[in-house]
Amino acid sequence: MPSRSVPSASPVPASAAVAVVSHRAFATNLAISLRPNQWTKNLLVFAGLIFAQRLFDPHALTTSIEAFAVFCALSSVVYLVNDLSDRDADRLHPTKAQRPIASGALAPAAAWTAAVVLGAAAMTAAVLINRSFAVVGGLYLVILSAYSVSLKHLVILDVLTLASGFVLRAVAGAVAIDVPFSNWLLLVTLLAALFIGLSKRRAELVSLAGSASGHRRILAEYSPYLLDQMIGVVTASTLIAYAFYTISPEVVQRFGTDRLIYTVPFVIYGIFRYLYLIHQREEGGNPSELLVTDRPLLGCLALWALAVVIILYG
């Protein structure tokens, strides 16, 4: 197999990065720092709506859209905190050095102010939805902010913390419209998030090669072999947990059908496709980008969602 080149991890001078982004307006640099391209992760908020069979309930749908907007704001606050905390390390990364905060195009004081204002507005909106939703949103903000500041430096806990963010998104979507959420589905969400988080760590480790720990020091605690072992365990666990969820008596009784088992092939293909992109294409460092740029993966997700809706509502 021909060797693949990996991006250089040599330090990028701050002045060079500023030259790229300095022409942008303040609002543009702030909008980029909010990372709207990462908001696809918050689509998990709609899981409770779909699996509670409330998709065509206008009030529940409106509330879920509001909850999605709140989590987009909360996740953007976390991204601001993360970029502020990582700005020195990001300057050593071949692409992250051009982020507005790392490059100096967006002043830290302005970023902190935006984070506080946006966080306060988001939590106010969360309280207006309902108190339980506000509690889950507050937990998400605290836990993921703690990750950005310190937890990301603790081996294994770093990935578990990231995975908890996905679980909290799913729980938030359910409590927003006051519906129960299956424990099986929470387990599947946790395992799938661990799969993505570990895969992202592996992609970072491989792409940055010998300079990985210089950019993110927690990567020194991992190796491709260790991550492959963890990914193998999580992959098998995710598939088994999802299969058990689709045929569990609780689910069959609630939905009046055992046909969710027919969606398992989509899950298998999606996971295997992601593994292929990691190992053969050396991608996976940005899961949100892969989700919208890799057509087979996007098509698989769309077909899975369509199959779920047809089975649950048809």
pLDDT at 226: 94
Closest of 121, 139, 144 to residue 66, by C-alpha: 121
Q: How far apart are CA 75 and CA 148, in angstroms?
A: 12
pLDDT at 215: 63
Closest of 56, 55, 103, 113 to residue 83, by C-alpha: 103
Question: Per-residue confidence of the chain (314 residues) as pLDDT tens digits?
Answer: 444 444 444 444 444 445 555 567 888 899 999 999 889 999 999 999 999 999 999 999 999 999 999 999 999 999 999 999 888 777 777 777 788 888 888 899 999 999 999 999 999 999 999 999 999 999 999 999 999 888 888 999 999 999 999 999 999 999 999 998 888 889 999 999 999 999 888 888 887 766 655 566 788 888 889 999 999 999 999 999 999 999 999 889 989 999 999 999 999 999 999 999 888 877 766 777 777 788 999 999 999 999 999 999 97
Q: How far apart are CA 190 and CA 163, in angstroms?
A: 6
Helical (H) or strand (E) element with 150 = none
pLDDT at 12: 44
Per DSSP, 158 falls in state H
The CA radius of gyration of the chain, in Å to the nearest whole number, is 20
Q: How far apart are CA 48 and CA 54, in angstroms?
A: 8
DSSP string, 49-107: HHHTT-TT-HHHHHHHHHHHHHHHHHHHHHHHHHHHHHHHHHTTSTTGGGSHHHHTSS-
